[in-house]
Amino acid sequence: MEDVYDDYFVIRNLELRECNSGQLFADIEFLRGIRDDNADYSYLKAEKIYNIQIGSIACHPSCKVCNGTLDTNCMICSNPTYKLFMGKCYPECPANAQDKDSYQIVYHNVEMSQVICTGICPFGKYSDVNTRTCLYCN
């Protein structure tokens, strides 16, 4: 019987810290041993490394706050004068989304606001044809 050397590792406790400039950490367990023809291991050695940084994940440069890494995953634009439409930041609203509205989010205990482009105004608001903005109904 010929010895078969087989190495593998297990990643546990995968954790993303700081969602937008995220550092990806994990606990890694390396297992090394000799496997026989019956797939049984002998001389098994395990090594565990805790809290190791295995990479980083960040927003697209056009996004200040995001929920992914693409330019279509923005929640707040990096440029405060840009408008958000369907998760992407634009200098002006695209032609098919001329109405503007805004919303606020709290990120790291800081309230941020973002102008958004909409195709239609949300419930409780109407489109002002002169300013092309969404205004509250009276």
Give the pLDDT confidence of 75-107 residue by residue, as tens digits. 889 999 999 998 999 998 887 776 677 888 787
Domain boundary among 43, 58, 73: 58
Q: Domain range for residue 91?
A: 63-136
118 shares its domain with 73: yes
Total tally of structural domains belonging to the chain: 2
Over residues 113-127, the mean pLDDT reads 81
75 shares its domain with 132: yes
C-alpha Rg value of the chain to the nearest Å = 25
78 shares its domain with 115: yes
The C-alpha atoms of residue 76 and residue 116 are separated, in whole angstroms, by 9
Identify the band that residue 21 occupies on the pLDDT scale cut at 50, 70 and 90: low
29 shares its domain with 42: yes
pLDDT at 13: 65
